[in-house]
């Protein structure tokens, strides 16, 4: 099939051609016609399958007929993903060389008053994280009365006429402590709207949302939502619906003693960078502290890295992503903040420094490589205390990971040097009072949540 047969207009088809996109992906084939028709859609597809364009193309095509303020609201769990979706929307929005509609990104780290003013100007597509949008809704009336200065602007805006709601990375939005903020947002949206849910895993929370949507459709005499999954999942007898990894991904594990894990990591990264001079690496850790510690350790060893975790200021996060995407720095150390939806076309290897606690997080992490049909490699470093987690991941994805071949003699030669670098990193971490700053930030979040109840 081609985009024309899916009902995509010629202007957008030409724009896609200019970007080198001539053939729709499986999820685009399965969902775009139904979205254009106005149906609710729940799509569970592997990462890197073109989910974002699947909902952006019909939204922009609808706006070509009539520009409406806050026509589409796209909710996503992280700031980084919100900015990426916003950039893609802006790129698909250039009809005949000019921007068709206004795209606004709503995340924390920016003036909430200014964001309220900008919303009142009527952007056509809003991409937002739940927390900041809910805060804007809670304080909408109060922020309009902050000062006479503010009242000179029209700060009134509403979601009551929003026609399309998109929940991107729906499994995380519906499970990971976003419930209160989502309830605030949902209460302001019209009941009669088009709702699109996109997720890499078909979790219990997504199942519940599908059942609720079906019941709502029956009550309102509407067609039930389309539930779309890839053919290989539909034809599979596995119970891990929506939890598969792509066939172009080679998946390995490496078993070692806990105290030697950093030495194996340094050796593997150094070898890969040497053998693949144009490739990028993402190293995932389970905690912000681990991420920062390993970054300091690798810096001591002369290895250049950038970091991405929730304890970093927004400007530093953006700087890290810019340096990494431009290949100025080839190693990104990150928490699961980077595991959802972010697209890095030249990442060839993902390394899990810790075995992910939740199997579904493994699926999202390794989904940063082997995207859009390309080959990729995922390596999970596993110590003796993490074997149970590794087995749970294999059960979840329905695949056995392969033992990774490494020259242990070379690793043994750097164990002392790496251990000294780690101790030096621990001292530096204490000097910057990392744990104390984290506790202060946690306390601020708790106070903010309490004040909004």
The answer on pLDDT for 283 being more than 70 is yes
The answer on pLDDT for 146 being more than 60 is no
Q: Are 26 and 231 in contact (CB under 8 A)?
A: yes
How would residue 198 be classed by pLDDT, with cut points 50, 70 and 90?
very high
What is the pLDDT, as a whole number, of residue 232?
Answer: 63
Q: Which helix (H) or strand (E) holds 395?
A: helix 387-397
Cβ atoms within 10 Å, residue 97: 6
The answer on pLDDT for 154 being more than 80 is no
The answer on pLDDT for 200 being more than 90 is no
Cβ atoms within 10 Å, residue 387: 13
pTM: 0.82
Place of tokens 């950038």: 306
Q: Which of 139-153, 337-351, 369-383 has the lowest mean pLDDT?
A: 139-153
Q: Are 136 and 119 in contact (CB under 8 A)?
A: yes
Q: In what order do the strands lie in the sheet with 125-128?
A: 103-106, 125-128, 72-75, 164-168, 194-199, 41-44, 226-228
Cβ atoms within 10 Å, residue 50: 18
Higher pLDDT pick, 78 / 219: 78
How would residue 448 be classed by pLDDT, with cut points 50, 70 and 90?
low
Could you tell me the residue ranges of all domains in the chain? 4-234, 249-439
How would residue 436 be classed by pLDDT, with cut points 50, 70 and 90?
low
Closest CA to 21 of 53, 45, 43, 51: 53
The answer on pLDDT for 309 being more than 90 is yes
What is the pLDDT, as a whole number, of residue 438?
Answer: 56
pLDDT (tens digit per residue) in 19-77: 899 999 999 999 999 999 999 999 998 777 899 999 999 999 999 998 999 999 999 99
Instruction: Provide the CATH number for the domain formed by 249-439 in this structure.
Output: 3.40.50.300
Which residues are CB-contacts of 109 (< 8 A; sequence separation ≥ 6)? 79, 313, 314, 315
CA separation for the pair 38, 34 (Å, rounded): 6
pLDDT (tens digit per residue) in 160-175: 999 999 999 998 898 8
DSSP reduced 3-state for 20 = coil
Closest CA to 52 of 360, 377, 372: 372
What is the pLDDT, as a whole number, of residue 242?
Answer: 47
- Structure token pair of residue 54: 């699947």
Instruction: Provide the CATH number for the domain formed by 4-234 in this structure.
Output: 3.40.50.300
Q: Are 212 and 56 in contact (CB under 8 A)?
A: no
Mean pLDDT of 344-352: 92
pLDDT (tens digit per residue) in 213-263: 888 888 878 888 999 988 765 555 444 444 678 899 999 999 999 999 999
CA separation for the pair 422, 408 (Å, rounded): 20
The answer on pLDDT for 437 being more than 80 is no
The residues facing 94 across adjacent strands are 99
Mean pLDDT of 71-85: 95
The residues facing 252 across adjacent strands are 379, 402
DSSP reduced 3-state for 193 = coil
Asked if the domains at 4-234 and 249-439 fall in one CATH topology, the answer is yes
The residues facing 249 across adjacent strands are 376
Q: Which helix (H) or strand (E) holds 252?
A: strand 249-256
């Amino acid at each position: 099939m081609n985009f024309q047969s899916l009902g995509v207009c010629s202007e957008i088809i030409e724009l896609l051609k200019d970007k080198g996109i001539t053939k729709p992906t499986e999820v685009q084939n399965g969902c775009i016609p139904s979205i254009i028709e106005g149906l609710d859609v729940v799509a569970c597809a592997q990462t890197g399958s073109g989910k974002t364009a699947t909902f952006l193309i019909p939204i922009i095509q609808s706006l070509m007929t009539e520009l409406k303020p806050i026509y589409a609201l796209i909710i996503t769990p992280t700031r980084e993903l919100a900015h990426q979706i916003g950039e893609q929307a802006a790129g698909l929005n250039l009809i005949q060389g000019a921007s068709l509609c206004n795209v606004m990104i709503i995340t924390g780290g920016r003036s909430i008053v200014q964001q309220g003013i900008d919303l009142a100007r009527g952007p056509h597509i809003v991409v937002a994280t739940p927390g900041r949008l809910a805060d804007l809704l809670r304080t909408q009336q109060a922020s309009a009365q902050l000062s006479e200065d503010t009242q000179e602007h029209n700060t009134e805006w509403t979601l009551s006429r929003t026609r399309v709601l998109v929940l991107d990375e729906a499994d995380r939005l519906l499970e990971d402590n976003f419930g209160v903020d989502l309830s605030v947002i949902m209460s302001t949206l019209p009941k009669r709207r088009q709702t699109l849910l996109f997720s890499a895993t078909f979790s219990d929370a997504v199942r519940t949302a599908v059942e609720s949507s079906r019941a709502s459709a029956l009550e309102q005499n509407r067609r039930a939502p389309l539930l779309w999954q890839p053919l290989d999942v539909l034809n599979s007898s596995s119970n891990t619906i929506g939890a598969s990894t792509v066939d172009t991904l080679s998946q390995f594990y490496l078993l070692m003693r806990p105290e030697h894990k950093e030495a194996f990591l340094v050796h593997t990264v150094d070898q890969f960078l040497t053998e693949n001079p144009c490739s990028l690496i993402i190293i995932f850790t389970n905690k912000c502290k681990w991420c920062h510690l390993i970054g300091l350790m690798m810096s001591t060893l002369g290895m250049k890295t950038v970091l991405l975790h929730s304890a970093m200021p927004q400007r530093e996060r953006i700087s890290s992503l810019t340096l990494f995407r431009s290949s100025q720095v080839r190693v990104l150390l990150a928490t699961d903040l980077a595991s959802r939806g972010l697209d890095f076309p030249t990442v060839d290897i993902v390394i899990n420094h810790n075995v992910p606690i939740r199997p579904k997080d493994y699926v999202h992490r390794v989904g940063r490589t082997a995207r859009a049909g390309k080959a990729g490699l995922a390596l999970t470093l596993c110590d003796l205390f993490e074997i149970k987690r590794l087995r749970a991941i294999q059960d979840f994805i329905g695949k056995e990971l392969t033992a990774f071949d490494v020259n242990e003699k070379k690793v043994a030669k750097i164990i002392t040097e790496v251990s000294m670098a780690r101790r030096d990193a621990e001292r530096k971490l204490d000097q910057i009072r990392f744990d104390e700053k984290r506790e202060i930030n946690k306390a601020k979040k708790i106070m903010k949540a309490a004040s909004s109840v």
